[in-house]
Amino acid sequence: MVTPIISDSARQRITVTLFASQSLYSAATIMTFTLLPIIAADLSGSDSLAGIPSTMTLIGKATAAYFIGWLMNHLGRRKGLSLGSGLGMIGAVVAAVAVLNGSFLGLSVGLMLIGMGRGAIDLGRFAAAEVYTEDRRAKAIGLVVFGGTIGAIGGPLLVPRSSMLAERWGLVSTAGPFFVAAVFLFIGMILLFAFLRPDPMHIGRLLTAQQEADGRLAKPQAQRPLRQIFANSQVQVAVVAMIIGQLVMTMIMTITPLYMNHQAHGEGAISGVIMAHTLGMFGLSGVTGWLADRFGRLIIIVVGGLFLIGASLMAPAVTAVGPLAIALFLLGLGWNFCFVGGSSLLTDTLRANERNRTQGVSDTLVSLASGLGNLSTGFIFAQWGMLAIGSVGLAFALVLLAAAAWKGRRPMPVYENFKTGD
């Protein structure tokens, strides 16, 4: 009888820990971002500078994803993810102190650190995948991504309460969400460091070694350089799916509140549409993972591309709240399918000793796509309107389908690249 590498209870503990850390970080992030444009405009004295702190968050996220991915390759997932949560905690404290002292520079630095922590925590979905065999990985990724739903619901509800708490302490009310976010991130750091055992990276490598011993995988040679890894067609499709899903989602989601404001919709209507979008992004992640394990990663990516096409066509064509909510729900669902499907396909394609570094590069590219979407959507909307936003989204979604079709011409089973050296 072969002794299992990891028990079911240990696997469940790791998954629950990663789910909890994702939930806590999501709640903390949304809490700090809810009032951020107002705070930034107040501290800077200019509405035109209100977007700088959020841009610093994206810069921090893009910078940290590769660095912490590389670090995890040497220190393991547990220490890398704990470090990320710790960076976010420090960033939240720095931002809170900056609000108390009226420092716009300090606020921007704090948000950059929060973004760096986010870049690390997002790699947790890959850590969940490492403790499962390939037939269950997508479901594990989906469950961790689903953790964002808890934060998306709970984060906004805690903003007024944390502001009132700060006032009771005699502090500036807008510093409250940052202090509470710091507490959440501290709890997340303790959970990761205490319960992410055994380290998922070591489990992933042991599972790979077992498959090699059983003859299911050819024994890998030395680590491939990044150039060779990204020449693999499966890696290319996986990364393209995540990048395009992020870019299209960011462009349409970011500008929708302004578009609705131009249509004379109030804050309640706008909030409802964004809630529908958030539900599409996170609410069905567990189901998406199950579907990816059942029908294959490529099918999920294609369906995600079709959802993005539907959202790109529908969003600029409607003005009523109900249809807009449906369009934004489809947009979130398209992102979800691309993100979960792409993450699963990327993990399947990489050797155990290549995952941390390559996944870090992948998430850096996704963060850069998010930044590009944020920076470009306002300009495009101002010059050519919502129809142009939808057209750009449609074009990128069609590129994704073309890439998936190109990959589909010569399908390879999971881990085929280990044997062929592709």
Q: Is the Cβ–Cβ distance between 239 and 290 less than 8 Å?
A: no
Query: How much is the pLDDT for 265?
Result: 84
**Residue of 263 and 415 predicted with greater confidence:** 263
Query: How much is the pLDDT for 421?
Result: 36
Q: What are the pLDDT digits (tens) for 182-233? A: 999 999 999 999 999 889 988 888 887 776 666 555 555 566 788 888 988 8
Q: Is the Cβ–Cβ distance between 243 and 399 less than 8 Å?
A: no
Paired tokens of 236: 């290319």
What's the whole-number mean pLDDT along residues 347-356?
Answer: 80
Chain length of the chain = 422
CA distance 32 to 30: 5
Q: Is the Cβ–Cβ distance between 150 and 283 less than 8 Å?
A: no
Q: What are the pLDDT digits (tens) for 103-128? A: 999 999 999 999 999 988 988 888 88
Q: Burial level of 168, CB count in 10 A (0-12/13-18/19+)?
A: exposed
Q: What are the pLDDT digits (tens) for 70-92? A: 888 788 889 999 999 999 999 99
Query: Where does the pLDDT of residue 418 fall: very low under 50, low under 70, confident under 90, or very high at 90 and above?
Result: very low
Nearest to 133 by CA among 229, 203, 234: 203
Q: What are the pLDDT digits (tens) for 87-108? A: 999 999 999 999 999 999 999 9
What's the whole-number mean pLDDT along residues 6-24?
Answer: 90
Hey, what domains does the chain have and what are their CATH numbers?
A: 1-219 (1.20.1250.20), 221-409 (1.20.1250.20)
Q: What percent of the chain has pLDDT over 70?
A: 90
Please name the residue that has the structure tokens 């964002």.
148
- What do you get for the CA distance between the two ends of the chain, in Å? 35
What's the whole-number mean pLDDT along residues 282-293?
Answer: 88
Cα 311 → chain centroid: 20
The reported pTM is 0.77
Burial call 351-364: b when 16+ CB within 10 Å, e when fewer: bbbbbbbbbbbbbb
